[in-house]
Amino acid sequence: MEGTARPRPRSIRLMVDASKSAADEQLSELALTEEEKLALAKVADILRRIQFGTVVLVVQDGKVVQVEMAEKFRLR
């Protein structure tokens, strides 16, 4: 089943859909730099792919300098 994404439970999908407009509003209020947009895009890409694991942002001087991902595979 590697690489196949499981569909989200319906209740979570509805919660995400309901919060889209609020999230869009918050993002539009932020004045993001290109570096910040790239960091957010990288994190979003990881979150779409990872099923179990961790995502770590390393920040220096207020800027994301590294994104780490550790994926866990559940055997049972």
- Categorise residue 21: left if φ over 0, alpha if ψ from -120 to 50, beta otherwise: alpha
Q: How far apart are CA 35 and CA 4, in angstroms?
A: 30
The confidence score (pLDDT) of residue 69 equals 96
pLDDT in tens, 4-62: 555 555 555 555 565 667 878 887 888 889 999 999 999 999 999 999 999 999 999 99
DSSP string computed for 59-73: EETTEEEEEEEEE--
- H-run or E-run covering 60: strand 53-60
- Quick one: tokens of 59? 């920040």
Q: What amino acid occupies position 65?
A: V
